[in-house]
Amino acid sequence: MPRYDFDLLTIGAGSGGVAGSRRAGSYGARVAICEQGRVGGTCVLRGCVPKKLLVYGAQFSDAFEDAAGFGWSVAPPAFDWPRLIAAKNKELDRLEGVYRTLLKNANVALIEGRAVVVDPHTVEVNGRRYTADNIMIATGGHPTTPELPGIEHVISSNEALDLPQLPRRIVIVGGGYIAVEFAGIFRGFGAEVVEIIRREELLYGFDDDVRVALAQEMRNRGIEIHTRCQVARIEKFPHGYSVFTTHGQEISADLVMYATGRKPNTAGLGLAEIGVALNAEGAIEVDAWQRTTVPNIYAVGDVTDRLNLTPVAIAEARAIAETLCNDNPIKMDHDDVPTAVFSNPPIGAVGLTEEAARRQFGEVDVYLARFRPMKNTLSGREERTVMKLIVEPRSDRVVGCHMLGPDAPEIIQGLAIAIKCGATKKQFDQTVGIHPSAAEEFVTMRDKLVRPTKLAAE
Ligand code: NDP
C-alpha cells in the first residue's frame, strides 16, 4: 500500500503544470493536477495564444495596404470584431479539450477546484484531502495595477482579449511586453491608441537601439506615446473615460487598459503557513532544482517570478519530473533564453543587450544593420528593420542578437541555438546566407559600429 495517494500532485493546470505532470505520468508516476478554472492556464487562455491570434488578425490591415504596390486592387476591407473574438474563443475551447485529453492519456488525474496546501504532503480541494510524496506549485500570476483614483474603471489584458466591441480610442498604460503588443493589436484594427509610459523608452531591459526603433515605428503607425508620464486619476463619463496625467493633460478614451506588470498567485494557497518562503512580492523562492524551502514542495513558472515565459515554465516543470520520476537529475538552465515581443513590428532577442555586455565584459564589438526590407520597396512602406550583434572581442563569441522587424521571433529562435552553442562571430561569418532574406544580414555584417559620439571624441 503506497504511503501517499500520489507520487506528484501539481497545483495549476497551465503550461508548466500540465507539461511537468504529463512528463511524470509518462514515467509511470501516480500524478494528479488540481485546477480551479479552465485547463490551459494563462498562455493558452489569457495570454500567448489568444494574443497571437489577435496579432495575426491585426496584421491584415498592413497586408491590405501593401497589396496595392504589388498590383492588387482591394476594396475597402471591413472588419468584424465579434466574429474574430468568436473564432478565437472556439479555438481556445478546442485547445482546452486537447489539454484535457493529453492529461488523460498521460494518466494524470484532474482534480477540479481550488487547492489549499494543508501540510507538506496534503492538499485540500473542495473539502477533500489528497496526499502526495511531492507537490509542484504552478499557479502562475495575475495582472496588477497601481493604486490611484479611478483605477476601478480600467481593464487588464484578460478583458482586452474578450471585449464585446472594438474601442475607437484606447489608452494603454505601461511600456512592457503586454502594453506594446496590445497597442499594435488595437492600432492594427484601426483604433486610436495612446500609450503612457513612465520611462523615456518602452521595454526596459531590451537593447536600446531596438527600443528606440520600435517607438519610432509605432509612432509612424499613428500610436501616440507619452513618455516620462504617469496617470494621476481616471474619471468615468457616460460615453467613456478621461485619463488625467501628471503632465496636466486630459486624454479621453472609450477604454483604459493597464499593463503594469503581473503578480504571482500565492494568496490563500496556505504556503507561508507551512514554511514555504515567499519574497516581498509574494513569489515563491526556489533553488536551482526548483525546490522551495519545504524540500518536497517545488514551484515553476510565473509563481516564482523570474523569467516569466511559457517555455521556461515548461522546461522547469519537466526538469522536476525528470529529477523525481526518471532518476535523471536536471536543473533548468536560465542562460541565453530567447524572447520575443509580438509588437508591430515584432522583436526577437537572445543573450545580452549592448549595455549589459559592456557592464559584464567592458569593451564589446557591436554590429548594427538598419535596412528597408525588400517587400517594402514595392509596397512603399517606410518601416525599417534593425539587426544587431554584440560580440565579446577576446573570445570572439557572439553574446547577444537583437532584431526588430518582420519575422524577428522566427529568425531569433534559430540564432538562439548558435548562441547557446557559444558560436563566434567568425562562425557567423562562415555561415552562408539565404538569399534573398532579411535573416542573411545576420551572417553578412562586416563593419563594427563606431558610435557617432565616439567618432567625435577621437
Ligand atoms: P512588464 O513587467 O513587462 O511591464 C510592465 C510595464 O508597466 C513596465 O513598462 C513598467 O514600467 C510599467 N509599470 C509598472 N508599474 C507601473 C506603475 N505603477 N505606473 C506606471 N507604469 C508602471 O509586464 P507586462 O504586464 O507587460 O507583462 C508581464 C510579463 O508577462 C512580462 O514580464 C513577460 O515576462 C510576460 N509576457 C511575455 C510575453 C511574450 O513573451 N511575448 C507577452 C506578454 C507577457 P518600468 O519599466 O518603469 O518598470
pLDDT tens-digit series, residues 13-52? 999 999 999 999 999 999 999 999 999 999 999 999 999 9
**Alpha-carbon separation of residue 253 from 194, 236, 344, 392 (angstroms):** 9, 10, 22, 47
Bond prior to 436 in cis (omega within 30° of 0): yes
- Fold classified for 6-142+263-325: FAD/NAD(P)-binding domain (3.50.50)
- Residue 349's nearest CA partner among 305, 398, 393 is 398
**In the sheet where 231-237 sits, what is the strand order?**
231-237, 240-245, 250-253
Output the CA 260–ligand 1 centroid distance in Å. Answer: 5
Q: Is 270 helix (H, G, I), strand (E, B) or coil?
A: coil
Alpha helices in 1-41 (DSSP H): 15-26, 41
Q: How far apart are CA 210 and CA 369, in angstroms?
A: 11
Q: What pLDDT, on the 0 to 100 scale, is given for residue 456?
A: 45
Domains 6-142+263-325 and 151-260 share a fold: yes
Q: Vertex 26, ends 24 and 28: CA angle to 5°?
A: 80
Q: What pLDDT, on the 0 to 100 scale, is given for residue 341?
A: 98
Per-residue pLDDT tens over the stretch 74-92 = 899 999 999 999 999 999 9
Output the CA 261–ligand 1 centroid distance in Å. Answer: 4
Which residue is closest in CA terms to ligand 1's atom 16? Answer: 260
Q: What pLDDT, on the 0 to 100 scale, is given for residue 184?
A: 98
Q: How far apart are CA 177 and CA 182, in angstroms?
A: 9
- Examine the residue annotation and report whether 435 is marked as an active-site residue of this protein: yes
Output the CA 145–ligand 1 centroid distance in Å. Answer: 11
CATH superfamily of 345-455: FAD/NAD-linked reductase, C-terminal dimerisation domain (3.30.390.30)
Class level of CATH domain 151-260: alpha beta
Give the residue, out of 44, 155, 178, 347, with the most ligand 1 atoms within 8 A of its beta carbon, to mutate for a pocket test. 178
Q: What pLDDT, on the 0 to 100 scale, is given for residue 451?
A: 79
Output the CA 408–ligand 1 centroid distance in Å. Answer: 20
What distance separates the 2 farthest-apart alpha carbons in the chain?
78
Output the CA 71–ligand 1 centroid distance in Å. Answer: 41
Burial 125-158 (b: 16+ CB within 10 A, else e): beeeebbbbbbbbbbbbebebeeeebeeebbbbe
Whether the CA torsion 238, 240, 244, 250 is positive or negative: it is negative
Q: Which residue in the block uniquely carries the three cell numbers 489539454?
A: 99
Q: From the CB of residue 75, how many other CB atoms can be counted at a distance below 10 Å?
A: 6
Give the residue, out of 49, 156, 177, with the most ligand 1 atoms within 8 A of its beta carbon, to mutate for a pocket test. 177
**What number of CA atoms fall less than 13 Å from residue 281's CA on the CB side?**
16
Domain boundaries, the chain: 6-142+263-325, 151-260, 345-455
Asked if 111 and 32 touch (Cβ cutoff 8 Å), the reply is yes
Q: How far apart are CA 276 and CA 298, in angstroms?
A: 10
Q: Measuring from each residue's beta carbon to the nearest atom of ligand 1, which residues come in under 6 Å?
A: 146, 173-179, 181, 197-199, 204, 259-262, 308-309, 339-342
Mean pLDDT by runs of 10 across the 458 residues of the chain is 95 98 98 98 97 98 96 95 98 98 98 98 98 98 98 98 98 98 98 98 98 98 98 97 96 98 98 98 98 98 98 98 98 97 98 98 97 97 97 98 98 98 98 98 95 55
Q: What pLDDT, on the 0 to 100 scale, is given for residue 450?
A: 87
Set 121, 153, 247, 435: catalytic member: 435
Cα Rg for the chain, rounded, in angstroms? 24
Cell of 430: 562562415
